Structure 1
Amino acid sequence: MKKIKYYTLLLSLFALGFTACDDNLDVEPEQSLSPEVATSTPANIQTILVGMYAEARDNDSYGGHIALASELLANDGELSWNGTYTQPAEFDEKAILADNSYVRDIWMNAYEIINQANIVLANLDVFDDEDARAQAEGEAKFLRGLAYFDLVRLFSKPYEMGANGGQLGVPIVLEPVLDASAITYPARNTIEEGYSLVINDLTDAYNLLPEDNGFYASKYSAQGLLARVYLQRGDYELARDAADDVIKNSGFELTSDFSAAFNNDENSDEDILAFQVTSQDASGNSFNEFWGGYDFGGRSGDPDLSILDPHFSIYDDPEDDRAEFFYETDRGVATMKWQSQFANIPFIRLAEMYLIRAEANERLDTEIGATPLEDINTLRLRANATPFEAVDLDEILMERRRELAFEGFALFDAKRLARDVGDISYDANNLVLPIPLREMDANDELEQNPGY
């Protein structure tokens, strides 16, 4: 039997509304578009791009599940999983099955985004307006680079510069699929090839996108994500310079107080990129579903993820607003970051850029843009914490934990910093997600990750 179930690229055909019609009919249903029509005009290409943002914002991806996997896989006694779902429990136990549906859907959704990006990039000739064409290309490359970045981070061993770039990453697919008969069955590319694609895509996006693009990705969204990518790789000079560019030139500002960065119906002053959620989104977002108390829209775990006493040891000042950004529920302590079911989801905040610049400057013994002390105190003063008189790398990394807690950075920071999770080594097999079972069953070219 033909393996048409393989590769989630096929699902994006349905997402675009491509359906076959009866051979006896010449009339195409109004709600259906053939591939030729769907890619025939700039307006239709723009519709595909809007759909890509919706895919990225989906709960399976940046609506919460990627962050959930990161925080639970890195959990070492600071969180309690109170929920009834078995898939997140497997993350918390570091005992993930290859048929875990959350893992499957993270993979599927990423490749849906990638295929739609490839469709856009293959049909840029429909644009007569060069600015519109550049913007479409930039947004497609931004979202494709984003999807591949997190696929590599989740499904591969942690990147170690000059050491393991030849190890298995994820399949790289650059050709669009508009017909199920054209689906291919690629093997996995290397980690280095994955990162090279990500950096190339995001660099192109930075050069193509406008400085202001509403709530869609702008050139500074691309530069902010590049700063994150370079930091993950250990390219500290490039990470520093990218973060410095965003801080100096983007026009974004830290919110006046820490709480104003979260639970907003519109983007805050420091949202370099936020995924949009409205009251018309029936499920809201899964950040709120899992992290919010029942009275604030969360599940009956109240909350499914509660914060335990060991976490509070990271706060050095009781007056720090971040140390008080919690509330009591019937079953535990919840973070206030995800109280609103229909708030936008901050994805790249300006605060992260200060942290990246401070860490990179400290590692390089430079003071590009500001001293590490100045950057860290900028965040501490915003949070009403006592400013430091001096900082070292350990203190900068602790400030990063205080500022970015529960936003999905935990696993990725543990891996890049070679920080073990309890008695589990940072590069252990069970801190890498399995290639989903459905993909392994359908594609003989895929090699499973060790331990699964």
Structure 2
Amino acid sequence: MKNIIYKVAFLTLVGTVTLSCENEMESIPNDRLTIDNFYTSEGDFRKGVDYAYDAFKVSGYYQNDQNQLIVPDILSDNLIQNPEGRRSNNSAYVFDIFAGISSVTSVYGAGYAVASRANIVLSKLGNLPAGSFRDNIEAEAKGIRAIAHFDIVRRFSKIPTQSADAGASMGIAYIESFDPYIKATRDLTVNQVYDKIIADLTFAEQKISQTATVGRLTKAAIQGMLSRVYLYKGDYDNVILWGQKSLASSGSVGSIANFKNIWNDTSSDGVLFKILNSSVENVKTGSCYNQTVAGEIKSEYVVDFDFYKKFKDTDIRKSAYIQTSKFTGKNYNNVIKHRQATGKPIEAVDVKYLRSSEVLLNVAEAMFKKGDQIGALSLLNKLRKERYSDFVTGSESGVELLDAILLERRLELAFETDRFFTLKRLGMSIQRSNFGPQADGSGNPASVKNLDAGSYKWQLPIPQSAIDINPGIKQNPGYN
């Protein structure tokens, strides 16, 4: 009976589930042990936390057409729809955003599913003796919970730096315990949600001892995550503090010699945290961008030509991220960043959730905002040295320096979910180009080119199914 209650309660909590209803929160993968008779040994807890990591790989996060490796770029100005594709995610692309569109609402259910797995582990901590192992398990679980809530809040609520009223606006439910009877509400403000995320991450940073793999959280990864969260919050002193700590222990941004190998999963140089994939799981993380048809790349979306031109030929990222090739006789600039796996199906690449290069760019932007242009330029040059084969030390200052930092951010984190949120947190409008989808910019341009900075659509809609099941979850303004 208790297992049934757990399942129903989760449906009540978030109103949507993207995992198997039979197995969700009831068993560890590959066995049938329920949580009533599990979590009695260190091995059980290790499996439980790894089960929470696994939840990032489900549909709604990094699988299939709802894959979040593409949706934020579709919503911004990095991509243009390819008429040769299936028109997947078309509603998101034309900003016809509504509460029933799965690609923009899927992280709501998927994120709470991740958090629930972490909370189950936390609810059983009393079964472990005090000590470093228990501290590390608690740290990892709280770190996972924080990341899941962060991914929800940046999509479905305002970002603190987005506008003057953002911090006091409606946040999300922050679920800190596994309670079968809880009904979520959105009583917290955005600032209060961010404070809870930061509290979980700072606890994790203090207690974590995990160092084994980039497939699990480490101290450097949590420090880097804190730099990201504080950047969204606009607390630039703490961006610098935590970002520098992360870079002090994991300072490589991925050398120019290793950079291409990061994307075929033969190197983790500069990767702080990634979602591991395997041949057995074969989560097709790259299929949201394109598929192989008769030996050719058939892309759903291709690189906008105006953006493509910003990649210099001497930039290692150009060939690592993009391949120009023909499909049905026409040339397209295809995104290959997530379809280069070695030793497993090419689309089953690991998801690079956080890299040191982003942390460096976070710190550089924060230093600029705090008036330390020398420090910001030094970090920017450190990154550019590892990206351009003809690197020459830059000397920008003032607005030109900020523009250079933001350009490198766009180039570095292209097709990694960043662009939509960068524009959102900076309070900028989306302005797409007048170019068409073909490799030389020819063809029909995007039919919808703009999204004003003041549009309610920057806050994605809560899934209607969640509200139908739990009326205590308020819908975002603007959605009927």
TM-score category (smaller protein): 0.7 to 0.9
* Cα distance in structure 1, aligned partners of 2:235 and 2:403: 19
Report if the CA contact (8 A) 2:232-2:425 is conserved.
Answer: yes
Q: Which amino acid aligns with 1:318?
A: D
Which residue number in structure 1 is paired with residue 391 of structure 2?
386
Aligned-residue offset at 1:303: 1.2
Which amino acid in 2 is paired with 1:262? I
Deviations 1:130-182 (A, max 9, x none): 111011101101110001111110001232386332211111222204x5xx2
1:114 matched to which residue of 2? 115
The code of the aligned residue for 1:306 comes to V
Matches of 1:185 and 1:344, distance apart in 2: 32
Measured on the aligned residues, the alpha-carbon RMSD in Å equals: 2.8
> What's the counterpart of residue 34 of structure 1?
34
- Residues 308-319 of structure 1 aligned to structure 2 (within 5 Å): 308-315=304-311, 317-319=312-314
Whether 1:124 aligns to 2:125 is yes
Distance 1:329 1:48, change over 3 A: same
Task: Give the drift of 1:112.
Answer: 1.0
**What amino acid is the match of 1:190?**
T
From 174, 177, 191, give the equivalent of 2:176: 174
- Please tell me the residue identity of whatever aligns with 1:273: F
- The answer for the alignment partner of 2:461 in structure 1 is 434
Cα distance in 2 between the residues matched to 1:296 and 1:145: 43
Q: How big is the shift at 1:263? A: 2.4
Q: Deviations over 1:308-352 (max 9, x none)?
A: 31112323x432223444212334211232222122221211111
Match of 1:360 in 2: 366
Shift in CA distance, 205/85, structure 1 to aligned 2, threshold 3 Å: farther
Check whether the contact 1:414–1:420 (CA below 8 A) recurs between aligned residues. yes
Structure-2 residue corresponding to 1:448: 475
Matched with 2:207 is 208
Deviation at 1:185, TM superposition (A): 4.2
Distance 1:208 1:187 in 2: 30
Partner amino acid, structure 2, of 1:219 = K
Give 2:394's aligned amino acid.
E
Q: Is the 8 A contact 2:82 2:300 kept in 1?
A: yes
Question: CA separation of 1:129/1:175 partners in 2, compared to 1, >3 Å: closer, same or farther?
Answer: closer
Normalised by the length of structure 2, the TM-score is: 0.82
1:351 aligns with 2:357: yes
| Separation (CA, whole Å) in 1 of partners of 2:357 and 2:200 | 24
Distance change in 2, residues 1:310/1:91 (3 Å): same
> In 2, Cα distance between the equivalents of 1:122 and 1:239?
31
Measured after TM superposition, the shift of residue 14 of structure 1 is: 4.3
Aligned partners of 1:409 and 1:296: how far apart in 2?
A: 32
Residue 407 of structure 2 is matched in structure 1 by 398
CA positional deviation for 1:211: 5.9
Name the counterpart of 1:25: none
Counterpart residue type for residue 203 of structure 1: T
Q: 2: distance between equivalents of 1:296 and 1:232?
A: 44
Given that 2:140 and 2:204 are in contact with CA atoms closer than 8 Å, whether structure 1 keeps it comes out as yes
**Counterpart-to-counterpart distance in 2, 1:358 and 1:33:** 48
What are structure 2's unaligned runs of at least 5 residues?
Answer: 341-346, 432-449
> How far apart, CA to CA, are the structure 1 residues paired with 2:260 and 2:134?
35
Deviations 1:242-274 (A, max 9, x none): 111111123655234364353233551211111
Indicate which of 412, 427, 439 corresponds to 1:418.
427
Secondary structure of the equivalent of 1:170?
Answer: coil
* Equivalent position of 2:100 in the other structure: 99
Q: Secondary structure of the equivalent of 1:79?
A: strand
| Larger mean Cα displacement after TM superposition, 260-269 or 394-403 | 260-269
- Please give the alpha-carbon distance, in whole angstroms, between the structure 2 residues aligned to 1:115 and 1:254: 33
- Structure 1: distance between partners of 2:294 and 2:403: 35
Higher helix fraction (1 or 2): 1
Q: Please identify, of 101-110 and 198-207, the stretch whose mean Cα deviation from structure 2 is larger.
A: 101-110
1:339 alignment partner AA: R
C-alpha spacing 1:189/1:105, structure 2 compared with 1 (3 Å): same
The reply on whether 1:54 has 2:63 as its aligned counterpart is: no
Equivalent residues of 2:70, 2:289 under 8 A apart: no
Distance 1:356 1:110 in 2: 24
Distance (whole Å) between structure 1 residues aligned to residue 75 and residue 361 of structure 2: 23
Q: Say whether the 8 Å CA contact 2:136–2:210 is kept in structure 1.
A: no
CA distance in 1, matches of 2:49, 2:266: 21
Deviates more, 1:228-237 or 1:31-40: 31-40
Give the whole-Å Cα distance in 2 for the aligned partners of 1:59 and 1:263: 21
Residue 255 of structure 1 corresponds to 255
What do the CA deviations read for 1:60-108 (whole angstroms, capped 9, x no partner)?
21457223221111137x422554255x212111112211223443211
SS in structure 2 of the partner of residue 132 of structure 1? helix
Deviation string 1:370-427 (CA, Å, 9 cap, x unpaired) is 7222222222221224334312111111111121111110111001112201232234
Are 1:191 and 2:190 matched, yes or no? Answer: yes
Report whether the alignment pairs 1:322 with 2:323. Answer: no
Query: Judging changes above 3 Å, is the alpha-carbon distance between structure 1 residues 201 and 213 closer, same or farther for their aligned structure 2 residues?
Result: farther
Q: How many residues align?
A: 429
Q: Name 1:220's counterpart in structure 2.
A: 220
Please name the residue that 2:44 is paired with: 44
328 and 289 in structure 1: CA distance in 2 versus 1, 3 angstrom threshold: same
Matched residues, percent identical? Answer: 23
Residue 72 in structure 1 maps to residue 74 in structure 2: yes
Unmatched tracts of structure 1, length 5 or more: 20-29
| Other structure's SS at 2:263 match | coil
**Pairwise CA distance, 1:364:** 1.2
- Name the residue aligned to 1:241: 241
Q: Secondary structure at the match of 1:273?
A: strand
More displaced, 332-341 or 413-422? 332-341
